[in-house]
Amino acid sequence: MTTIQPHLAANPLVLSIDVGTSSARALLYDSLGRMVLGTEGRTAYQMATTPDGGVEMDPDLLLKSVLGVIDAVAMAAGDLPGKVCSVAMCTFWHSVMGVDLNGRPVTPLYNWSDTRSREDARELGRRIGTARIHSTTGTMPHSSYYPAKILWLRRTRPDLYWRVERWVSFGEYFYWHLFRRWRCSVSVASGTGLFNPNTCEWARDMLDAVGIDDRKLSPLAQQGESLAVLAGEYAARWPELSAVPWIPAYGDGASSNIGSGCVTEDLVAINLGTSGAMRICWRADHVNIPPGLWCYRADSRYFVMGGALSNGGDVYAWCQKILRFEPGDLDEQLARMPADGHGLTVLPFYSGERSTGWSDDARGSLVGMTTSTSPIDILRANLEAVAYRFAAIYDLLEQEVPGEKQIVASGGAFSICPAWIQILADVLGVPVIASPAPEASSRGAAISALEALGYIPDLGAIPAPLGRIHEPDRANYERYVAARRRQQELYDRLLGQRT
């Protein structure tokens, strides 16, 4: 069971805040990891885009939105907030903003998908060496990460750059308002490109390469550290939450693995929302960081390794918008179509590429159309193309972390298009289990808080609910092997490198 009525909730409760790229949510979870029904606050927003590839947001508008969802939970939950033992949080990885000496925003909040720093990323790779950066930080010289964005701002907006006293994520900025203290979790730090996941410290070489020192970054939170005693106005706003421990924000990808129950080497989590990711999270002292994959941290004990796609559910949304499908049984039509039966080859890089080739200049391509090509052929080909990119990540994970695997799939895109899960199973050639957990990231943040405070012994102590198992069709798998080769050949011709 993933949800529970309030009167059946097992105390203590955790208030979990999940800040995504398009919406913020706050929910209560009980001590068994179940969402407490009727206690949700949610709001949607949209980041601003610019013609040159910018994706940004006013951090104070986002702050106001997040404060509002906490208000909504406090109002909806009645006397339940008095039973809350902790507040947990997860936020989208890789966001960065600059603040002044008083913690006021100097810059907008730049999203991971902002590509204006791609030239700076390339120059950084040439200057320092892509392999050296990757082996040290677990990240690539890419516009997603802090180094390129900081260098871009110094080059293009020195008037802003020289006013910045600290580079922070949104979660750090949020907690600064509540507690007037700067803290960055190991999880969020590991996604910056300025952190060494094997030593769990800021990477001095990368700081030198960017031209900053660790005084420009927040102190790292220790394992299990929390903040408590809210600043005056917030203590008055939420008196029941004033003295409980608030856990510094986790990266949403790490939280999604935890919430899906994927915290061992044999469990692979796939999340497909607007973008997509495939990750393994497991406990280890040190890891090798293979080419093509990134390596972050869930905390100081658990690594998170995998790959991320800049395009996921947005591919489905784009096809729906451009091809103008009528409401109806679209998913059933997709499910009935033969594997790779359209003759199309797609590179689904509408927002550029991250894993596995990390090409900021990659763009979407569609090859093989004829007069008989239909809109649903194009949609199905795009869904399969995204699955091929997941398969490329899976191949690399298998090489680095061998052994039999189970794959657990979650995310809003699978809810919108359930047929996509079967396509994914057929492409990978392994069973894919649908996760019924409606909010894997916020659930994972809640479980992390329960573990940090000693209410459960470890991150895997609360089993995740599992749904339908989608077994692969062997004949479809063989057809998809050939289709993947065709996609790779197109990639090589257009981008000139192997992924």
According to the CATH classification, is domain 313-434+468-495 in 3.30.930.10? Answer: no
Task: Give residues with Cβ within 8 angstroms of 497, minimum separation 6.
Answer: 357, 359
Express each pLDDT in 120-139 by its tens digit. Answer: 999 999 999 999 999 999 99
| 221-245 average pLDDT score | 94
- What the block records as the tokens of 422 is 């079967």
Owner of token pair 């994520």: 169
How buried is residue 300: exposed, middle or buried, by Cβ count under 10 Å (0-12/13-18/19+)?
middle
For residues 70 and 212, give the distance between their C-alpha atoms in angstroms, rounded to a whole number: 35
Give pLDDT, residue 499: 43
Nearest C-alpha neighbor of 391 from the set 456, 481, 329: 481
Calculate the CA dihedral of residues 65, 304, 302, 436 and round it to 10 degrees: 60
CATH of the domain spanning 3-253 = 3.30.420.40
| 352-367 average pLDDT score | 89
> Is the pLDDT reported for residue 351 higher than 70?
yes
b/e string for 409-441 if b means 16 or more Cβ within 10 A?
bbbbbbeebbbbbbbbbbbbbbebbbbebebbb
Give pLDDT, residue 437: 74
3-class secondary structure per residue, 54-90? CEEECHHHHHHHHHHHHHHHHHHCCCHHHHEEEEEEE
Nearest C-alpha neighbor of 422 from the set 331, 317, 484: 331
> Is the pLDDT reported for residue 199 higher than 90?
yes
Nearest C-alpha neighbor of 97 from the set 188, 223, 202: 188
**In this structure, are residues 302 and 263 in contact, taking their beta carbons and an 8 Å threshold?**
yes
Give pLDDT, residue 158: 97
| 329-344 average pLDDT score | 95
Give pLDDT, residue 242: 92
Give pLDDT, residue 496: 79
Give pLDDT, residue 497: 57
Q: What is the average pLDDT score of the chain?
A: 94
**In this structure, are residues 32 and 455 in contact, taking their beta carbons and an 8 Å threshold?**
no
**CA atoms within 13 Å, Cβ hemisphere of 206:** 31
**In this structure, are residues 242 and 267 in contact, taking their beta carbons and an 8 Å threshold?**
no
**Whole-model pTM?**
0.91
**In this structure, are residues 264 and 464 in contact, taking their beta carbons and an 8 Å threshold?**
no
Express each pLDDT in 301-336 by its tens digit. Answer: 999 999 999 889 999 999 999 999 987 789 999 999
| 62-66 average pLDDT score | 98
**In this structure, are residues 74 and 81 in contact, taking their beta carbons and an 8 Å threshold?**
yes
Domain with CATH 3.30.420.40 in the chain: 3-253, 313-434+468-495
Beta bridge partners of 27: 16
For residues 375 and 321, give the distance between their C-alpha atoms in angstroms, rounded to a whole number: 11
431 to each of 253, 419, 423, 439, how far by Cα in Å?
Answer: 22, 14, 11, 22
Give pLDDT, residue 438: 72
SS3 366: strand
| 239-261 average pLDDT score | 94
| 55-73 average pLDDT score | 97
| 159-187 average pLDDT score | 97
